[in-house]
Amino acid sequence: MRILLVEDEERIASFVARGLKEAHYVVDVAHDGEKGLFMAEVNEYDLVILDIMLPGKDGISVCRELRAKKIDTPILMLSAKDTTDDKVRGLNFGADDYLAKPFAFKELLARVQALLRRKAPEKGGVLHVGDLELNQLTHKVIRAGKEIELTSKEFALLEYMMLNAGKVITRTMISEHVWHEDFDSFTNVIDVYMNYLRNKVCKGFKKPLIQTVRGSGYIIQD
């Protein structure tokens, strides 16, 4: 799951981003409204966390413009003040939920999970490929009854592959969906992580599940 966080206050942005990464989400951060709007337009996010008070373009305008462009990514608004006015305006312009500052990270995480669950009820949050099972909500990965411990990055990579099971996934697709904006695609970092992942998910099991497609990328299939 990939989340865009639009927040100009450095302290809040870094604590929220860190918490979300620890919870295995992939997080991009924009520090102003213009950048946030641009990133939400060009990338596919599962959720946008949008502060209302932003330099340049405010959060309400960003939300309104995204909805006008038919981008229906769930939006969680953040506001400095808990006023009914802000809340009503945000929800009127197409936000899905609203959280007033200051908030506990646990509260934010609960809202994020609720919105993601609402967005993907048909998936039930559990992906399967053969005897491999990945729970998108609890982040548990089980193969043949055995729990597999993954790092955040490995989890995000496996989740993205399982969402696209049976299709060839190129390194470019992985860099766009799993890595951050500042990712340098000329490094072999994807191959390195793919090796870590295969060691954990495939080694010692009957079927490899993840295969290299020469000259193209990778595929996961039963």
Binding site for Ca ion (CB under 5 A): 8, 51, 53
Rank residues 8 and 176 by Cβ distance to Ca ion and give the closer one: 8
Cβ atoms < 10 Å from Cβ of 127: 18
Contact indicator for 156, 178 with CB cutoff of 8 Å:
yes
Rank residues 14 and 151 by Cβ distance to Ca ion and give the closer one: 14
- State in angstroms the smallest separation of the CB of 148 from Ca ion: 39
- State in angstroms the smallest separation of the CB of 37 from Ca ion: 15
- State in angstroms the smallest separation of the CB of 8 from Ca ion: 5
Backbone angles phi, psi at 63, to 5 degrees: -60, -45
- State in angstroms the smallest separation of the CB of 69 from Ca ion: 23
Rank residues 8 and 65 by Cβ distance to Ca ion and give the closer one: 8
Rank residues 11 and 203 by Cβ distance to Ca ion and give the closer one: 11
Rank residues 53 and 189 by Cβ distance to Ca ion and give the closer one: 53
Angstrom distance (rounded) from CA 40 to CA 45:
7
DSSP state of 130: T
User: Which residue shows structure tokens 């696209």?
Assistant: 164
What DSSP string describes 33-84? HHHHHHHHHHS--SEEEEESS-SSS-HHHHHHHHHHTT----EEEEESS--H
Residue nearest to Ca ion (CB): 53
- State in angstroms the smallest separation of the CB of 114 from Ca ion: 23
- State in angstroms the smallest separation of the CB of 33 from Ca ion: 10
Angstrom distance (rounded) from CA 61 to CA 93:
8
Q: Respond yes or no on whether the N-terminal peptide bond of residue 121 is cis (omega within 30° of 0).
A: no
Rank residues 51 and 96 by Cβ distance to Ca ion and give the closer one: 51
